[in-house]
A and B are shown apart, each in its own frame.
Chain A
Amino acid sequence: MALVNIKVNGQPVQVEEGKTVLEVLKEIGIDVPVLCYHPKLPSIGACRMCVVETRPGVLQASCTLPVSEGLEVQTDSETVKKARKFVLNLIFSERNHYCMYCEMSGNCELQDLGYSLGLDHFELPTYMTKFPLDTTHEDILLDHNRCILCRRCVRACSEIAGHNVLGISQRGIDSMLTADLNVPLGESSCVSCGLCVQVCPTGALTDKKSAYLGTRRESELVRTICANCSVGCGIEAYKKANHLVQILGDWENPINNGVLCRLGRYEPLSDAKKRITQPMIKKDGKLEPVTWEEAIDRVKAILNEKETVGYISASLPLEVLSKFKDLLEDNVGLLENTSNPIDTFGKLSDILNSDKIVVIGVDLDKNFGVVGSYVKRAIFNSSELIIVDDKPNSLSKYAKLIYQTKDLDKAIGNALTGNNPVIIYSQVDETIADSLSRIRGKAKFIWLAPASNYLGAKKLGLNGNFNYKKNAYIVAPYIEKIPENLNKIILQTSYYTPAIEKADVVLPSSIWLEEEGTYINIEGVEQKLAKVLEPLKGVKNNLEILSMLLGR
């Protein structure tokens, strides 16, 4: 990279060409206040907070100004300081920025700037117009009164998440953040990815489920992964007093680059399913609470009959899967077992470099939002989307072609005319397996595997091959259906479901937020799940339960 010579506050500095002044200033440790700028978003130079003086009296936004040979900037001159404070006063004078009744107080970039620039009163009268409060969305609260029109949300929604829901309508003082063609957010095409909330510098966009739980700054941050599906996105989980406060996407995780879906961002906070918090044993046809010792002894007694087969969910960490295999001497089957003819998988980033994308039988916006995000971004890079689905599909409006499942081969044939085709699929039935087996190696395959650690389980050799026994030990955080024709059933699970009534012993186990371990995602990337919360009282984590059984 070529170097250019610039002067910062009179000091000569050599910097890389192609960077902006703001980037360079940050690198050499000069603090520049920013508001519309976000390191992960394209800069637009809208708020003028980051101005620097390039010639006496000439102010330019450093976030959009590229460095050039001979450039001289003043970052701390009286003109600069006066301009920044004036800009801040202008922002505070529009709409309602009274911190004392704002939920985001203490977690607000506008407030931070007020403090750091020493704004101890308003120099301009405030603008006393009441703006609407949009409460229509299930997860996101949009308070226009707190909006500073920085357009971070708009850029995040369109250019990073690819959803293109948010925009700005009108001009000047009438400018308003708008969803679609000016509909309430809850009725818009929003897919609840929540990236807009993540980048909002004020209290304009907030997470409803995180409201009044405490600010992020007061919370403890755990950087981990989401184990809700097999994509394995990086998340930042904020917790306080063993309660989740908020989940944000991890910008540094190359799988999702900060983007999440509703399942990842909001589901853990909205989880209202009833947890099992004590071991139970069936007595007179009814499950009765017992101590851990009693339950473990009972399980041990059943296992000693040597008539037990294991079924485990591939949503658990490798360590748990492996220990369960040890416990049942390899006679273990996967609850989510699927046969898939493809065994080499592409990276999600291959979607961005594709020219044809086939999506087979899966509604990405609804079930694999982050993958949907990749696909939408690829479409804006002029990739062609081909959907194969018999049901209505949220991505249909972006599709160049839509085929019925019976025409799968036609769709694949079309895709293979491209230079970089990507094939995305989830459930594999015989037809799909047959079609895919004939095109091995001819395209990049993204398989949305049925459980979060499915590839990990496969690596351990778990599959549908096991010997039938009359008793079963089933380990799954959530169990909907229990295999038929069993005598005694040991169930290690987290939630009450009608299915648990069939069990003879129930061992309450932790959910993924309370677990730690290793996962392998759909790209084959091995990641560590870190423990966010301590298990609920009475609950033990999966590995601990299995260790108790192996230990005795």
Chain B
Amino acid sequence: MKKITIATDWLDGCSGCHMSMLDMDERLVELIKMGVELNATPITDFKEPTEEVDIGILEGAVSTNHHIEVVKNMRNKCKILIAIGDCAVFGGIVTMRNYFSVEELLRRGYIETESTVDGKIPTSPEIGKHTKLAKAVNQIVKVDFYIPGCPPRADAIYYVLKELVEGRKPLLVGDLLRYD
């Protein structure tokens, strides 16, 4: 049986799309039985693809210089790149911050929130720096397939992966194509 390797990662997102992936439930096992092997995901030990993979999956909008690196790395290491969820596909809810400057955003988030006492904006060099605008993944690299939805339905993710594993081109129609 041919092995099909998949790596996933999240950017500026809420992890809801990964939850939807887990929502495939026993169909995950079905995919694994069909030869799918998870290489690196935020829910496994490897945080980035250790080798070239067949399918790369990205959740979340591109919002920091760190995300840009992750996106480019994933693009280089996968043959097929899928953007899942409204943030990765369209920019989504994350783009609400595009109406404000990065300074306003950080001040609001770390200092001015009602529950914050003596807050300060983190400056560690290990943390990514916000880009001026949050963007969809396809504004940074070429994306091969899109699964919109907030979050995308587990059915839609399963359908796309199954089609790819079986060597067909997925096309989302009907209830599988949703923006909310």
Query: Which residues of A line the B interface, CB within 8 A?
Result: 98-102, 105-106, 111, 114-115, 118, 120-122, 125-126, 128, 130
A122 touches B99 (CB 8 A): no
CA distance A125 to B139 in the complex (A): 8
Of chain B, the residue at the smallest CB distance from A114 is B179
CA distance A130 to B95 in the complex (A): 11
Closest 6 CB pairs of A and B: A100-B150, A99-B179, A130-B99, A121-B146, A120-B146, A105-B180
Contact of A126 with B177 at beta-carbon distance under 8 Å, contacts A100-B86, A121-B143, A121-B146 already known: no
Starting from the known contacts A98-B95, A120-B147, A126-B91, 12 additional A-B residue pairs (CB-CB under 8 Å) come to A98-B86, A98-B93, A99-B180, A100-B92, A100-B150, A100-B179, A101-B93, A115-B177, A115-B178, A120-B146, A121-B89, A121-B146
Q: Does B121 contact A (CB under 8 A)?
A: no
CA distance A114 to B96 in the complex (A): 21
Q: Which residues of A contact B178 (CB under 8 A)?
A: 115
CA distance A118 to B139 in the complex (A): 20
Give the shortest distance, in Å, between A516 (CB) and chain B (any CB): 37
Of chain B, the residue at the smallest CB distance from A92 is B90
Q: Which residues of B contact A100 (CB under 8 A)?
A: 86, 92-93, 150, 179-180
Query: Which residues of B line the A interface, CB within 8 A?
Result: 83, 86, 89-93, 95-96, 98-99, 133, 135-136, 138-139, 143, 146-148, 150, 171-173, 177-180
Q: Looking at the complex, which one of A99, A102, A115, A121 makes contact with B136 (CB distance below 8 Å)?
A: A121
B98 touches A128 (CB 8 A): yes
B177 touches A121 (CB 8 A): no
Q: Looking at the complex, which one of A106, A120, A125 makes contact with B148 (CB distance below 8 Å)?
A: A120
Q: Which residues of A contact B177 (CB under 8 A)?
A: 115, 118, 120
B171 touches A118 (CB 8 A): yes
Q: Which residues of A contact B173 (CB under 8 A)?
A: 118
Q: Which residues of A contact B143 (CB under 8 A)?
A: 121
B95 touches A121 (CB 8 A): no
Give the shortest distance, in Å, between B85 (CB) and chain A (any CB): 9
Q: Looking at the complex, which one of A105, A118, A121, A130 makes contact with B90 (CB distance below 8 Å)?
A: A121
CA distance A98 to B97 in the complex (A): 13
Of chain B, the residue at the smallest CB distance from A105 is B180
Q: Write 6 A-B pairs (CB below 8 A) sorted by A numbering.
A: A98-B91, A101-B96, A118-B177, A120-B89, A121-B83, A121-B89
Q: Which residues of A contact B139 (CB under 8 A)?
A: 125
**Interface of A (DSSP majority class):** loop
Q: Looking at the complex, which one of A99, A106, A121 makes contact with B138 (CB distance below 8 Å)?
A: A121
Q: Looking at the complex, which one of B89, B95, B148 makes contact with A128 (CB distance below 8 Å)?
A: B95
Of chain A, the residue at the smallest CB distance from B85 is A100
Q: Which residues of A contact B171 (CB under 8 A)?
A: 118
Contact of A105 with B179 at beta-carbon distance under 8 Å, contacts A120-B148, A126-B95 already known: yes
Most chain A CB within a 10 A radius of its CB, from B93, B96, B136, B179: B179
A-B pairs with beta carbons under 8 A, tally: 58
Of chain A, the residue at the smallest CB distance from B96 is A101
Give the shortest distance, in Å, between A404 (CB) and chain B (any CB): 55
Q: Which residues of A contact B136 (CB under 8 A)?
A: 121-122
Most chain B CB within a 10 A radius of its CB, from A101, A121, A122, A128: A121
Q: Which residues of A contact B135 (CB under 8 A)?
A: 125
A106 touches B180 (CB 8 A): yes
CA distance A352 to B76 in the complex (A): 70
Q: Which residues of A contact B91 (CB under 8 A)?
A: 98, 126
CA distance A101 to B180 in the complex (A): 8
Of chain B, the residue at the smallest CB distance from A123 is B138
Of chain A, the residue at the smallest CB distance from B86 is A100
Give the shortest distance, in Å, between A143 (CB) and chain B (any CB): 13
Q: Which residues of A contact B96 (CB under 8 A)?
A: 101
A121 touches B179 (CB 8 A): no
B98 touches A98 (CB 8 A): no
CA distance A103 to B135 in the complex (A): 23
Contact of A121 with B148 at beta-carbon distance under 8 Å, contacts A99-B180, A100-B180 already known: yes
CA distance A376 to B146 in the complex (A): 51
Give the shortest distance, in Å, between B88 (CB) and chain A (any CB): 9
CA distance A100 to B89 in the complex (A): 12
Of chain A, the residue at the smallest CB distance from B100 is A130
Q: Which residues of B contact A114 (CB under 8 A)?
A: 179
Most chain A CB within a 10 A radius of its CB, from B133, B172, B178: B178
CA distance A139 to B146 in the complex (A): 38
Q: Which residues of B contact A111 (CB under 8 A)?
A: 179
Q: Which residues of B contact A120 (CB under 8 A)?
A: 89, 146-148, 172, 177
Of chain B, the residue at the smallest CB distance from A117 is B177
Of chain A, the residue at the smallest CB distance from B170 is A120
Most chain A CB within a 10 A radius of its CB, from B83, B90, B91, B147: B90
Of chain B, the residue at the smallest CB distance from A101 is B93
CA distance A130 to B100 in the complex (A): 9
Give the shortest distance, in Å, between A442 (CB) and chain B (any CB): 60
Give the shortest distance, in Å, between A33 (CB) and chain B (any CB): 15
Q: Which residues of A contact B146 (CB under 8 A)?
A: 120-121
CA distance A130 to B99 in the complex (A): 6
Of chain A, the residue at the smallest CB distance from B89 is A121
Q: Which residues of A contact B95 (CB under 8 A)?
A: 98, 126, 128
Give the shortest distance, in Å, between A100 (CB) and chain B (any CB): 4
CA distance A549 to B166 in the complex (A): 74
Q: Looking at the complex, which one of A118, A122, A128 makes contact with B172 (CB distance below 8 Å)?
A: A118
CA distance A99 to B152 in the complex (A): 13
CA distance A99 to B92 in the complex (A): 8
Of chain B, the residue at the smallest CB distance from A122 is B90
CA distance A106 to B178 in the complex (A): 9
CA distance A105 to B177 in the complex (A): 13
Q: Which residues of B contact A101 (CB under 8 A)?
A: 93, 96
CA distance A394 to B156 in the complex (A): 56
CA distance A121 to B86 in the complex (A): 9
CA distance A223 to B133 in the complex (A): 48
CA distance A106 to B148 in the complex (A): 15
Of chain B, the residue at the smallest CB distance from A111 is B179
Of chain B, the residue at the smallest CB distance from A145 is B99
CA distance A262 to B110 in the complex (A): 45
B133 touches A98 (CB 8 A): no
Most chain A CB within a 10 A radius of its CB, from B99, B133, B139, B172: B99
CA distance A118 to B145 in the complex (A): 13
CA distance A128 to B150 in the complex (A): 20
CA distance A414 to B178 in the complex (A): 62
CA distance A178 to B138 in the complex (A): 35
